[in-house]
Structure 1
């Protein structure tokens, strides 16, 4: 069994430094952390785990997502679990319910299980209290990297918002409404709206104020009567596909047809959107691939001491049938 003393000798540092570097606690430079982890990996060191945390004594990683029921995050979790199982790691899952105040508590609960690393999807990585704690190797998933945590797997949500809006503009629409979950709960939604605004400005049309609703329990009884009467949009962009389905239902309750009266588009490319008739126009995201990439990156950093990096995967337009030429 490899000991901490052996790692200290191999890394050329003190035993206390090795302990701090492996636990992610106390003062230690990033360079020394990489040196210690590289030494540990080269010697084949595996940290001890309590029986309560892991009865089979397998290393585990912690994953935080906003919702385990959203197909987007379910796909990412599937990719993470597939890659981690292949590496002999268990996966611990927590959810924040799109609540920034819950993130720090959820991460603290994951840390009690002494994970070798974390994969986090946060409401807003720039303001999250969860990142103020001493953390093991951490990958941001869906969030842009921040200075303290430069390892991230994302898509370009701003560009996706701009491209889906351009697609709708090419169909002759000028009054396009953006409906979203609260931006405070999702920086991805905010970036998509900012991309929408950029495309509208480029085309010489004034962007409309976003209609923000709760991400949790805000879709089924969505009421669009006020904004439809006030703005009279001919098209609606929803910040995700589940919300786009809610928009379709709300428009039908107003006696409007999609796409004959109002065009609708979303983001994510979930399967149910392709099964509806007409199929949903959406910007498809590689959620499963992003999960696999985040897991692989975490293993590289935690076990092989590789440098942190930002990986941005491609999205693609699925034209669907819910966007048509404006009358």
Structure 2
């Protein structure tokens, strides 16, 4: 295997000059740099970046933890982060917690062992987190994404979850809906869901309406109609629901249609996230759109500023209400909804 000395000899330069061509190429004359790089190519030599970075007390790596890669929200965030990090000479180490708060400390510990220069995290509950308590004792800079902790000294980037869902709720009320519910996965898996529920409750109370208890699904992104069924029946049945993420809303629309119900004829369904898949459905998904690409790009920029010793104070990014066909005015006369089996209705 070729080494740096072999490259220097083939290029006709000193070992120090060859090393400088890789570590500080701007300090080496272009023609000399070209000779060194050409010699390295001929000898299939690759410089040991890890060793050089460790000597400089930096790895140029950012550790990233997200709940899942199945959700396009996190995939789009990561893509934007990778582009921004690469432009600044950094790489990402990505791992998933699978919505399991008990794994978060283990994941962060492993990334700290790899000497990452900083961390970008989406955790289960920013206000009751063992991970954040641990990071307070570390020197490694970290930034939360999508979380919205009560503590003002914890840096975070995302939208105002309460305000976003409050706006979505007011939109439904303006269409004439008074019996509005909210559907989420387990609150233990997402503090974002809790904050969004608070925004829904506040908007309902502000309009003199009674907020309903949160309807929790066993899984974060997959609806089970049996959990919602009791809230659909009777004269007081729901006419609209807000789901705490788009995948949950899409799953719910499918379950409703398979049961013979119409969306939005029988039930209006609102999502949250604004993933592109929502455009492709029929009915198209009405949702609250988060600026996912801007969130990912800003996360890298803010973390790099923290690594440089700065103390940025990021502000919430703007959300947008994206109207779609899954939301409409409530039925003019509400009849008792019953589960209809398409097979039974077939002559």
TM tier relative to shorter chain = 0.7 to 0.9
Deviates more, 1:124-133 or 1:148-157: 148-157
Which residue in 2 is equivalent to 1:219? 222
Which of 285, 299, 303 aligns to 1:298? It is 303
Deviations along 1:266-323, whole A, 9 cap, x unmatched? 10110110111121110100111101101000111102x1113132100001011111
Which residue in 2 is equivalent to 1:286? 291
Q: Does 1:316 align with 2:320?
A: yes
| TM-score under structure 1 length normalisation | 0.79
Q: Does the Cα contact within 8 Å between 1:103 and 1:122 map onto a contact in 2?
A: yes
Deviations along 1:205-244, whole A, 9 cap, x unmatched? 100101112345x616543323323761111110010000
Deviations along 1:19-51, whole A, 9 cap, x unmatched? xxxxxxxxxxxxxxxxxxxxxxxxxxxxx9469
Q: Does 1:193 align with 2:197?
A: yes
Which residue in 1 is equivalent to 2:272? 267
Separation in structure 2 between the aligned mates of residue 118 and residue 146 of structure 1, nearest angstrom:
20
Q: Does the Cα contact within 8 Å between 2:148 and 2:192 map onto a contact in 1?
A: no
Which residue in 1 is equivalent to 2:100? 99
Q: Does the Cα contact within 8 Å between 2:141 and 2:307 map onto a contact in 1?
A: yes
Separation in structure 1 between the aligned mates of residue 162 and residue 184 of structure 2, nearest angstrom:
14
Separation in structure 1 between the aligned mates of residue 271 and residue 152 of structure 2, nearest angstrom:
32
Looking at both structures, which has the greater relative contact order when contacts are Cα pairs under 8 Å and sequence separation is at least 6?
Answer: 1
Q: Evaluate the alpha carbon distance shift between residue 196 and residue 221 of structure 1 in structure 2; reply closer, same or farther with a 3 A threshold.
A: closer
Separation in structure 2 between the aligned mates of residue 292 and residue 50 of structure 1, nearest angstrom:
28
Q: Does the Cα contact within 8 Å between 2:82 and 2:92 map onto a contact in 1?
A: yes
Q: Evaluate the alpha carbon distance shift between residue 310 and residue 100 of structure 1 in structure 2; reply closer, same or farther with a 3 A threshold.
A: same
Separation in structure 2 between the aligned mates of residue 188 and residue 259 of structure 1, nearest angstrom:
26
- Structure 1 unaligned blocks of 5 or more: 1-47
SS of 1:61's equivalent? strand
Q: How does 1:235-250 map to 2 (within 5 A)?
A: 235-250=240-255
SS of 2:76's equivalent? helix
| TM-score under structure 2 length normalisation | 0.75
SS of 2:315's equivalent? strand
Which residue in 1 is equivalent to 2:10? none
SS of 2:119's equivalent? strand
Separation in structure 2 between the aligned mates of residue 139 and residue 157 of structure 1, nearest angstrom:
17
Which of 151, 155, 164 aligns to 1:151? It is 155
Which residue in 1 is equivalent to 2:40? none
SS of 1:249's equivalent? helix
Which residue in 2 is equivalent to 1:27? none
Which residue in 1 is equivalent to 2:233? 229
SS of 2:198's equivalent? helix
Separation in structure 2 between the aligned mates of residue 250 and residue 267 of structure 1, nearest angstrom:
18
Separation in structure 2 between the aligned mates of residue 156 and residue 295 of structure 1, nearest angstrom:
19
Separation in structure 1 between the aligned mates of residue 321 and residue 219 of structure 2, nearest angstrom:
23
Q: Evaluate the alpha carbon distance shift between residue 178 and residue 296 of structure 1 in structure 2; reply closer, same or farther with a 3 A threshold.
A: same
- Structure 2 unaligned blocks of 5 or more: 1-48, 332-347
